[in-house]
Amino acid sequence: MNAPPRGRDLGLMSCHVCRLVTAWTEEPHAVCPRCGSPLHARKTGSITRAWALLLAAALFYIPANVFPIMRTQSLSSKDDNTILSGIVELWRAGSPGLAVIVFTASIIVPMLKFIILGYLLVSVQRSSGFVSRQRTKLYRFVELVGYWSMLDVFVVAILSALVHFKILSRVEPLPGVVYFGVVVVLTMLSAMSFDPRLIWDNRKTSQ
């Protein structure tokens, strides 16, 4: 298999911001001579950063699920719902479709992100060359679904803004939703920190 040469092989690297091609350097603190952005062949500390952010996200995911995210107040009742109890309530209230969507966005997607990112990081650290192409696809999938993870936050934000009829009925956000938002942001940052090129670094270049 004859793979194309890498920039390193050619002694080249480029600025991430202004795309200026510069000479190769291993120096981690190099900056672009044109725009002054940090210059690195691979994202510096990519794995460390991704790990740290992923860990933080996982930590925040606990309170996000334990604490109620939303308070629905109506004349006759006051309901505090966590993510899971909200889904159960939706299911019981006769909206299984909506329940599935919320379940997917709020539970499955974050969990998938943790698993996929974790797997990618582990596999990169172990210099595995196994199914590199598929792993890249996984990474792109994580990046893609990242945007949709905020669904729950949006639901709460929109409901809080719209359903505001004083005593008749009212929806209030509760601290849980903040933690959930932090989880989503942190996983996205983690995915962004991860440099997918690392997946390919272990392949054997055709000499």
Partner 1 sequence: MSDTNVGNTPPQDDLPQPVVRKSKLGFSLIWLVPIIAALVGISLLVSHFMSAGPQISVTFLTAEGIEANKTQVKYKNVVIGKVTTMRLSRDRSHITVAIDLDKSASAFATKGTRYWVVRPRIGAGGVSGIDTLLSGAFIGADAGDSDEDQSDFTGLETPPAVTHGAPGRRFVLHASDLGSLDIGSPVYYRRIQVGRIVSYQLDKDGKGVSLQLFIDGPNDRFVTSDTRFWNASGVDVSLGADGLKLNTQSLATVVAGGVAFQDPPGPHNEAPAAEMAEYTLFDDQATAIAPPDGKPRYIRMRFAHSLRGLTVDAPVELLGMKVGRVVSVNLDYDPTTKTFPVIVGALVYPQRLGQAHEKLAKAVGGPDDDTMFPRIMSGLVGHGLRAQARSGNLLTGQLYIALDFDPKAPKVAFDASAKPVEIPTTPGDFDHLQEQISSIVDKVEKIPFDSIGRNLDGSLKELHGTLKQVNTDLLPEAKKTLQGVNQTVGTANDALSEDSPLQRNIAGTLEELQRTVRSVRAFTDYLGRHPEALLRGRGSDAPPKISTPSPKQGKEEQP
The footprint of partner 1 (CB under 8 A) covers 5, 9-13, 20-23, 25, 27-34, 36, 39, 45, 48-49, 52-53, 55-57, 59-60, 62-63, 67, 75-79, 186, 193, 207
Rounded distance between C-alpha atoms, residue 122 and residue 29, angstroms: 26
List the single partner that 186 binds among Zn ion, partner 1, none, CB under 5 to 8 Å by kind. Answer: partner 1
Rounded distance between C-alpha atoms, residue 23 and residue 28, angstroms: 14
**Minimum separation from the CB atom of position 87 to partner 1 (A):** 16
Cβ closest to Zn ion, residue 37 vs residue 125: 37
List the single partner that 35 binds among partner 1, Zn ion, none, CB under 5 to 8 Å by kind. Answer: Zn ion
| DSSP state letter for 106 | I
**Taking a C-beta distance cutoff of 8 angstroms, is the pair 117, 194 a contact?**
yes
Cβ closest to partner 1, residue 82 vs residue 128: 82
Determine if residue 206 is left, alpha or beta; phi over 0 gives left, psi from -120 to 50 gives alpha, anything else beta: beta
Of the candidates 34, 137, 140, 203, which one interacts with Zn ion according to CB under 5 A? 34
CA distance to 33, 72, 82, 190, per residue, from 110 (Å): 39, 25, 16, 12
Rounded distance between C-alpha atoms, residue 137 and residue 145, angstroms: 12
Residue 15, interface with Zn ion (CB under 5 A)? Answer: yes
Cβ closest to partner 1, residue 79 vs residue 172: 79
